[in-house]
Amino acid sequence: MKQSFTKGFLTPLPVFIIATYNENGTPNAMNAAWAGQIGGSQLSLSLSPAHKTTKNIIANKEFTISFATKEQAEACDYVGIVSGDKVPDKLEKCGFTVTKSDKVNAPVIDQLPVAIECKVIEIQEELGETRVVAEIVGMKADESVLTDGKVDISKLHPIMFDTVAKCYREIGENIGGAWSIGKKFI
Ligand SMILES: Cc1cc2nc3c(=O)[nH]c(=O)nc-3n(C[C@H](O)[C@H](O)[C@H](O)COP(=O)(O)O)c2cc1C
């Protein structure tokens, strides 16, 4: 029998690392799980207005998001614990280096194999949150995670955030084709 709860949650939540430039040109990054894709070419972020990243996005209107990976999980967690406002060299502290994107005024983290380049479309201040809607204008992907010219999730090892256990989990095996395995009922 199902029990009834007053609150719910969505899973999986992603683990995105948002990278921006500070006003003095140094890079910053934070961990964001309350985020998602909207249609084919947009995404949304739900940010606390207090974060350095939020202020940078409002100022620059451009950023990158990289997928956190199993290999870099500790560094990805670290950038979600400390603020660039208090620790200006937080990227150096966890071993992240950056290369400037050629499409947006934002850093691409060298140690994370895939980065999505984004330009802000809309910023809403609502219920104490800063909600950002952005257009995906490009992507950088290391050759090491490509198969036949496409990003191969089994090589990338992206992780998800488990909002119930408050931990990171690996994303699992391919268990069947989309728009395909259900055809057995046709
Ligand atoms: C797993 C995880 C997920 C997080 N998701 C979000 C999020 O979606 N939105 C948000 O505003 N902060 C989120 N945070 C908190 C920020 O990453 C954190 O406060 C960070 O230190 C902000 O850094 P900054 O001030 O340098 O931008 C998350 C932290 C962790 C560890």
Q: Is 33 in the pocket of ligand 1 (CB under 6 A)?
A: yes
Helix (H) or strand (E) holding 67: strand 62-67
* Angstrom distance (rounded) from CA 19 to CA 30: 7
Tokens matching residue 136: 């995906």
Q: Give domain limits for the chain.
A: 13-185
Q: What's the 137 CA to ligand 1 centre distance in angstroms?
A: 23
Q: Is 135 in the pocket of ligand 1 (CB under 6 A)?
A: no
Q: Is 167 in the pocket of ligand 1 (CB under 6 A)?
A: no
Percentage of the chain modeled with pLDDT above 70? 100
* pLDDT score for 63: 98
* Angstrom distance (rounded) from CA 175 to CA 69: 21
User: Where does the pLDDT of residue 14 fall: very low under 50, low under 70, confident under 90, or very high at 90 and above?
Assistant: very high
Q: Is 30 in the pocket of ligand 1 (CB under 6 A)?
A: yes
Percentages helix, strand, coil for the chain (3-state, rounded to 5) are 15, 40, 40
For residue 16, which of 37, 41, 1, 42 has the smallest C-alpha distance? 37
* pLDDT score for 137: 98
Q: Which CATH number fits domain 13-185: 3.30.1060.10, 2.30.110.10, 3.20.20.70, 3.90.105.10?
A: 2.30.110.10
Mutate to test the pocket of ligand 1, among 21, 51, 130, 132 (most ligand atoms within 8 A of CB): 51
Nearest CA, atom 13, ligand 1: 32
Q: Is 94 in the pocket of ligand 1 (CB under 6 A)?
A: no
Is 60 within 8 Å of 107 (Cβ atoms)? no
* 123-168 pLDDT tens trace: 999 999 999 999 999 999 999 999 999 999 999 999 999 999 999 9
Q: What's the 186 CA to ligand 1 centre distance in angstroms?
A: 44
Q: Is 101 in the pocket of ligand 1 (CB under 6 A)?
A: no
pTM of the prediction? Answer: 0.98
